[in-house]
Amino acid sequence: MLSRIYPGSDYFLLAAIFYYMAAASVASALLAVTRRNPVHSMLWVLALFLHVAGIFLLLGAEFLAAVQVIVYAGAILMFYLFVVMLFDLPAEEVRPRFGNHWPFAAAVGLGFACLAWIARVGAGAPSAGTPVAVERVPQGNLRAIGTALFGPFVLPFEIASLILLAAIIGAVLLARRRAA
Q: Whose Cβ is closer to another protein: residue 126's or residue 138's? A: 126
Q: Whose Cβ is closer to another protein: residue 5's or residue 15's? A: 15
Helices 38-58 and 11-34: crossing angle, nearest 10°? 160
Distance CA 37, CA 123 (A): 39
Tell me how far, at minimum, the Cβ of 22 lies from another protein, in Å. 5
Tell me how far, at minimum, the Cβ of 29 lies from another protein, in Å. 5
Please count the other Cβ atoms lying within 10 Å of the Cβ belonging to residue 6: 10
Please count the other Cβ atoms lying within 10 Å of the Cβ belonging to residue 152: 13
Tell me how far, at minimum, the Cβ of 70 lies from another protein, in Å. 10
Tell me how far, at minimum, the Cβ of 107 lies from another protein, in Å. 9
Distance CA 13, CA 10 (A): 5
